[in-house]
Amino acid sequence: MQVPAPFEYERATSVDHALALLERHGPEARLIAGGHSLLPMMKLRLARPEMLIDINDLSDLDYIKLDRGEIAIGAMARHAAILDSPLLAEHYRIFREAEKVIADPIVRNRGTIGGSFCQADPSEDLSAVGSALRAKMVIRSSSGTRTVAAREFHDGPYQTMVGPSEILVEIRVPIRPGSGSAYEKVERRAGDWAIAAAGTFVQLSGDNVADCGIGITAVGADHFACAAAEDFLIGKPATVENFAAAAQICHDAVAPQSDQRGPADYKRHLARELTSRALNRSAARARGEDV
Amino acid sequence: MTVTEDRPLSPAGNPMGFGRMIRKEDVRFLRGKGNFVDDVNLPGMLHGAVLRSPYAHARIVSIDTSAAEAHPKVKAVITGKILEGLKLAWMPTLSMDVQSVLCTDKVRFQGQEVAFVVAEDRYAARDALELIEVEYEPLPTVYDARKALDADAPIIRDDLEGRTDNKIYDWEAGDKAKCDEVFASAEVVVKQSMIYPRVHPAPMETCGAVASMDKVTGQLTIWTTTQAPHAHRTLYALVAGLPEHKIRVISPDIGGGFGNKVGIYPGYVCAIVGSIVTGKPVKWMEDRSENLMSTSFARDYHMDGEIAATKDGKILGLRVNVLADHGAFNGVAQPTKYPAGFFHIFTGSYDYSAAHCNVRAVYTNKAPGGVAYACSFRITEAVYLVERMVDCLAFELKMDPAELRMKNLLRPEQFPYTTPTGWEYDSGDYPRALKEAMRIAGYDDLRKEQVAKRANGEMMGIGLSFFTEGVGAGPRKHMDILGLGMADGCELRLHPTGKAQLRISVQSQGQGHETTFAQIVAQELGIPPEDIEVIHGDTDNTPFGLGTYGSRSTPVSGAAAAVVARRVKDKAKLIASAALECSVDDLEWEQGRWFVKGDPEKGKTIQELAFAAHGNLELPEGVEGHLDASVVYDPPNLTYPFGAYICVVDVDKGTGHVKVRRFIAVDDCGPRINPMIVEGQIHGGLADGIGMALMEVMAFDENGNHLGGSFMDYLLPTSMECPSWELGETVTPSPHHPIGVKGVGESATVGSPPAVVNAVLDALQIRHAEMPLTPAAVWRAIQDNPISRPDLAIE
């Protein structure tokens, strides 16, 4: 049995309570939700928070709903709820496809979307989804709320813009009529972290790409995104060739590192291959095809 | 044949002998009522933790334990220096080498044991590890076996007198001159190098021990994760100088072993010393990373093979040079006379006369071990070699690999068959098994589908393997471990009411011994299996024997159980003659009952005879009371199970991802005692094969850092990677086993990896690529830029 270093523990009863606890205990305090990243790191003693603030009772942050023309997802929404959400399935198939390949059902029953974003693992799947959809991250502190774009949320591996006395409370995704989305991931084994993964949406205007988003994970993409490839596609016909050209831009833009999941050249190849596949399926879905 | 469903069932609905029945042990396991080592809690028990080296090779300059000793909950801190005083700093390995218990001079692999803390709870013990200050002087490492014998390679074992290099041994088998002759004149010679990378058995339960030394009586009791409790007891006596009759080794429920729990680990010895020092029971359970990084690994064979044949595909000979990476201490668990295990069975299932192998073993800065993960003493490596070489030959000859195998398989009339390297295969009908596998697979249709898919640009592969296993070590005259002969005792006692207790020497780690062995006795004596309690895993309550590994339980102790039951039956016959007042010669047996020939109504059941044996019946001259017997079974030979496996894969050529679509496994292990247990073992072994072929590897970087030290880095397959297994069966009994059965526990682990690899390579239409065939490895192979060293860090 791996055992963590000593720590204190308190259960928050409300967001305000959690914020008060964060302020009281300072930067050595950590929030714990599902705990599926934090607890293993604590057991390996890679993380040594002095204080754990358990926010699992904050059920008012556990929702997926329509709100002012956007989908609002509470930070405490569990992966399993996102996987099963009819609202998300109707508007963004990317969520379901990404969730299906995140860990396993046991982890998905506990892990939360807020935890995934705030853990900010460079191979994390929902971060790529958030970047692809240009989600907005709602962050609260005792002095109020602020909103940060998903593409500005991360500040390097395992680093986010959430301050020591702040809590990520909500993720907001605009609804895009006439769009389709998809997620493609290659892993060494079911439930493993991605060797590489790409998620995209494509919104069509006639035969042309009106808007699109490309999120890529595990390959060192800047903010899990590839804006240059998006810029290339917008306004162009939604063809296999254009998607291949956009995917090539991703291939050239990413900065993967070799590790035991695979060498850098392979990961770079996957960035292209998976982006291309995701774009084609997104476009087909935008056309109403069942793919 | 083996199924007895046509016979009446027992009162509890079980077969009265062989056949499918729910495992007796499942009642407690499914209810969470198992009793594993970590469930053992004794009054006043303390907890130990091991401080391990972060370096793969470093001299220890100093160790300061004062801060740890000052921790309020710490009861003792033990270092190599303290053990030196007790002459316990080093212990013998199972291969006549020595291994450091706690380091005294330098660490030789990352994760090596440096100090041991005993504290009031496991949290404090773990916290105190961080208070021990060790100053290391890092040394260059031998992280690549192929560089171990370089002139400038650092000498790892400078503790051994006169060591000037890292070589452990050279060992050869077969007739080199004859082999060279055959190769020189052969029409076709195909060479192929291949790596069977270092993998880990990774049992669900990690290793551990609870040691309790009673200073008043001098009695040491140790509950521990061992596959061989009796061998451990003797080793503790030899290592620690403790009197053997005062040592009791208890192996409670064991959560998987696969060879990982054969040897003695430093942590066990530390727990014993901890108990001696503190006077309290001490528990030590390693965590997952400790298990992966420091305990017995498997494989790590670099093999250069060559196969010779005629142009039309008649195999003439096989030879191989092996470089074996044994890690920092030679801790391989195998019979003494066989330093490379049974690797020289590498001639496999085929008919040719020229074979030769040379195995060169070296020290590296990696954990010791080497025979584990259900490998049947290196037959896994041997089968991988020959089955890959046969496929390489098929590739070069452009022959169908099934046709090539069929052409060269040993024929039934050749059995018993002596191999070119001296093994005597007991029985087999190989072509029948291969035909059965091809029938189940629909082989010809699969090949047609493959042609169509290829025309479409899709990658589909069909891989075969045919394996011959050799399991059930000894006989004792040829096989021993540290001088302990590989023969096993067994005792059967019938109580007055006819209920029975069977005491066996082998130790289940999940194989279902309590069920299988009860069924053997039930088959022989006609006692319901639910009336037979199988007792194992406690040296005070079971006869001596060498334990469970190398698929030896049923071939050795299963035979012992049948023989001991027959002795009881014979004694019951004498008692029946007294009870029925007839001559022994007039008695006839039907299951569960002796009766008078020609008068079937006049008879006594085994239960009645058990009561009579304990009662007031006047027994015949020379017959003692009670109904029991004991035997020691010394197997005359190994048993040789075999099988034909076919794997079908689809490869995504854009990503390199492999999907195992189908897996057909035809196993012949002789009659099946409990087919359900046999199938479960095959299922597990097939999953192992997919794991090794597609994802499992322990690689090391140039500093000797272990790159697979958690289950996030060392991947085991899940049900998602496994197809619905398609099992088949042929039955060829062993002629020398009392009930004709052969071992099966490791067959699928041994036989399946080459089938998966052959299938992937068939899909790719290339001759060879190294395991594990991860998506990256497959994609690189497609690009003709393969990952040639999966044992090193990927660059």
Tens of pLDDT, residue by residue over B580-591, are 999 999 999 998
Helix A264-286 to helix B775-782 angle, to the nearest 10 degrees?
A: 100
Other beta carbons less than 10 A from residue B299's beta carbon: 28
Whether the pLDDT of residue B730 is over 60: the answer is yes
Q: Return residue ranges of chain A for CATH 3.30.390.50.
A: 179-286
**pLDDT class of B2 with cuts at 50, 70, 90:** very low
Share of chain B above pLDDT 90, in %: 97
- Domain range A8-54, CATH class: alpha beta
Whether the pLDDT of residue A36 is over 70: the answer is yes
CA distance A266 to B783: 10
Interface test with A, best of B779, B791, B795 (most A CBs within 10 A): B779
- Residues in B touching A195 (Cβ below 8 Å): 775-776
pTM over 0.95: yes
pLDDT at residue A103, as a whole number: 95
CA distance B621 to B564: 22
Nearest by CB: B776 against A2, A40, A261: A261
Helix (H) or strand (E) run with residue B488 in it: strand B488-494
Whether the pLDDT of residue B1 is over 90: the answer is no
Residue of B nearest to A270 (CA): B655
Whether the pLDDT of residue B703 is over 60: the answer is yes
Token code pair at residue B204: 């669900």
Token code pair at residue A256: 């993967």
- What mean pLDDT do residues A20-38 have? 96
A59-174 — its CATH code?
3.30.465.10
**pLDDT class of B241 with cuts at 50, 70, 90:** confident
| Cβ-count burial B159-171 (b if 16+ within 10 Å, e if not) | eeeeeeebebeeb
Cβ contact B337:B169 at 8 Å: no
pLDDT, one tens digit per residue, over A220-279 is: 999 999 999 999 999 999 999 999 999 999 999 999 999 999 999 999 999 999 999 999
Strand pairing partners for B792? Answer: B700
Token code pair at residue A221: 């993409």
State the burial class of residue A246 (Cβ atoms within 10 Å of its Cβ: 0-12, 13-18, 19+). Answer: buried
Least confident stretch, A58-72, A78-92, B229-243 = B229-243
- What mean pLDDT do residues B630-649 have? 98
pLDDT at residue B240, as a whole number: 82
Residue type, A192: D
**pLDDT class of B239 with cuts at 50, 70, 90:** confident
pLDDT at residue A91, as a whole number: 97
pLDDT at residue B6, as a whole number: 67
ipTM of the complex: 0.97
- What mean pLDDT do residues B249-268 have? 96
- Residues in A touching B718 (Cβ below 8 Å): 104, 189-191
Residue type, B728: G
CA distance B123 to B48: 10
Cβ contact A185:A218 at 8 Å: no
C-alpha A115, offset from chain centre = 10
Residue of B nearest to A274 (CA): B655
Closest CA to B320 of B263, B381, B262, B278: B381
Residue of B nearest to A269 (CA): B655
Residue type, B126: R
- What mean pLDDT do residues B85-91 have? 94
Closest CA to A215 of A203, A233, A200, A227: A200
Q: Does A195 touch chain B (CB under 8 A)?
A: yes
Listed in order, strand segments (DSSP E) in chain A are 8-11, 29-32, 51-54, 64-67, 70-74, 136-141, 144-149, 167-174, 179-187, 194-205, 208-217
Q: Return residue ranges of chain A for CATH 3.30.43.10.
A: 8-54
**pLDDT class of B675 with cuts at 50, 70, 90:** very high
Q: Return residue ranges of chain A for CATH 3.30.465.10.
A: 59-174
CATH 3.40.50.720 for domain A179-286, yes or no, is no
Q: Could you tell me whether strands B642-651 and B459-468 are parallel, antiparallel, or unpaired per DSSP bridges?
A: antiparallel
In angstroms, what is the C-alpha Rg of chain B? 27
Q: Could you tell me whether strands B74-79 and B113-119 are parallel, antiparallel, or unpaired per DSSP bridges?
A: antiparallel
Whether the pLDDT of residue B372 is over 90: the answer is no
- What mean pLDDT do residues B602-612 have? 98
- What mean pLDDT do residues B11-31 have? 96
Helix (H) or strand (E) run with residue B282 in it: strand B282-285
* 239-258 of A, contacting B, C-beta below 8 A: 258
State the burial class of residue B43 (Cβ atoms within 10 Å of its Cβ: 0-12, 13-18, 19+). Answer: exposed
C-alpha B367, offset from chain centre = 18
CA distance B737 to B741: 6
Q: Does A192 touch chain B (CB under 8 A)?
A: yes
pLDDT at residue B4, as a whole number: 47
Q: Could you tell me whether strands B58-64 and B74-79 are parallel, antiparallel, or unpaired per DSSP bridges?
A: unpaired
Residues from B in contact with A at Cβ < 8 Å: 38, 122-123, 126-127, 285, 287-289, 654-657, 695, 697, 699, 707-708, 710, 712-713, 715-718, 720-721, 774-776, 779-780, 787, 793-795
Q: How far is CA B251 from CA B205, B236, B271, B509, in A?
A: 13, 15, 15, 9
Residue of A nearest to B38 (CA): A1
Cβ contact B101:B247 at 8 Å: no
Whether the pLDDT of residue B545 is over 80: the answer is yes
Number of C-alpha atoms within 13 angstroms, CB side, residue A169?
21
Token code pair at residue B771: 């395991």
Whether the pLDDT of residue B378 is over 50: the answer is yes
Residue type, A193: W
pLDDT at residue B708, as a whole number: 95
Token code pair at residue A185: 């991931």
Peptide bond into B54 cis (omega under 30): no
Q: Does A270 touch chain B (CB under 8 A)?
A: yes
**pLDDT class of B5 with cuts at 50, 70, 90:** low
Token code pair at residue B459: 């990658």
CA distance B217 to B259: 34
- What mean pLDDT do residues B334-355 have? 95
Interface test with A, best of B47, B126, B285, B289 (most A CBs within 10 A): B126
